Structures are given as structure tokens and as C-alpha cells.
């Protein structure tokens, strides 16, 4: 299975989750993204993943990602990239082992794909 097929299946599965689909960007999040730009948001996502998800041991796993306060946090919950247990379940990455750079980049790509879809949806509903 290639990346495109995996993403299509992943976003279909996420779309079938009542919990995951309950997360949406608010207008203030959209405004923040437009103000900062997608490159900066991607850098924030990479930083959050590196610091909060990539370590092998996370003392507060399951509680390290707030549900509001930054568009990336919302995207993490929507895409199941918010804690190592969700990453294990949805993205098949075993906990207890530091995430590789490739794994981290994949998680950031998932987050940014969701954000870009939300921005498109926001344009259509305006």
C-alpha cells in the first residue's frame, strides 16, 4: 500500500469515528493559521510531535496534548496523533520506543493534511 492509499484509508476510518470528527477548527484557529502561514504551523506541529510524542517514555501520556489553544492540538485529536496510545492504535507505531524522524514527519504530514482539509471546508462554508 502506498502513502496515498494509506492516507485515504486513514482519513476514511477517522471520518467514521464520532469522537475524531467532533474536532473542528474554530474561526480564531483559521485566522491564526492565516496569520502565521502553513509553514509556521507545520514547524509548530513538528516541534509538538518531537517534544510531546516522540520520546520513548512520556510520563503524562494520554494527557500531554490540550484539546484547545492551538490549531495543531485540535488536529492532533482529530487525527489520533495526540498520545502514544492513539498513535499505536491508529498509526501502528509501537509505544516504548522513540519515534524515528520518518515517523515524526509522517505524523506531521497527517496533521497538516487534516488542517488543510479543514481550511478548504472553511472556505466552502463561508
The pLDDT tens digits for 10-42 are 999 999 999 999 999 999 999 999 999 999 999
How many distinct structural domains can be found in the chain?
1
The rounded distance, in Å, linking the Cα atoms of 105 and 33 is: 19
The rounded distance, in Å, linking the Cα atoms of 111 and 126 is: 23
The rounded distance, in Å, linking the Cα atoms of 3 and 44 is: 23
pLDDT at 9: 95
Residues in the chain: 126
> CA 60, 80, 70: angle at the middle one, nearest 5?
75
pLDDT at 45: 98
| Structural domain boundaries, residue 43 | 3-124
> CA 119, 110, 104: angle at the middle one, nearest 5?
135
CA 76 → CA 1, 2, 60, distances in Å?
24, 22, 16
Instruction: Tell me the mean pLDDT per 10 residues along the chain, length 126.
Output: 91 96 95 97 98 92 90 98 95 94 98 96 77
pLDDT at 123: 80
Amino acid at each position: 500500500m502506498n502513502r496515498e492509499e494509506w492516507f485515504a484509508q486513514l482519513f476514511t476510518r477517522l471520518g467514521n469515528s464520532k469522537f475524531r470528527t467532533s474536532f473542528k477548527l474554530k474561526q480564531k484557529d483559521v485566522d491564526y493559521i492565516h496569520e502565521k502561514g502553513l509553514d509556521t504551523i507545520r514547524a509548530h506541529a513538528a516541534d509538538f510531535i518531537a517534544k510531546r510524542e516522540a520520546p520513548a517514555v512520556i510520563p503524562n501520556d494520554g494527557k500531554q496534548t490540550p484539546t484547545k489553544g492551538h490549531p495543531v492540538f485540535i488536529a492532533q485529536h482529530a487525527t489520533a496523533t495526540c498520545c502514544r496510545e492513539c498513535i499505536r492504535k491508529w498509526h501502528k507505531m509501537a509505544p516504548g520506543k522513540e519515534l524515528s524522524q520518518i515517523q515524526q514527519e509522517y505524523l506531521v504530514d497527517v496533521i497538516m493534511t487534516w488542517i488543510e482539509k479543514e481550511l478548504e471546508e472553511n472556505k466552502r462554508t463561508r
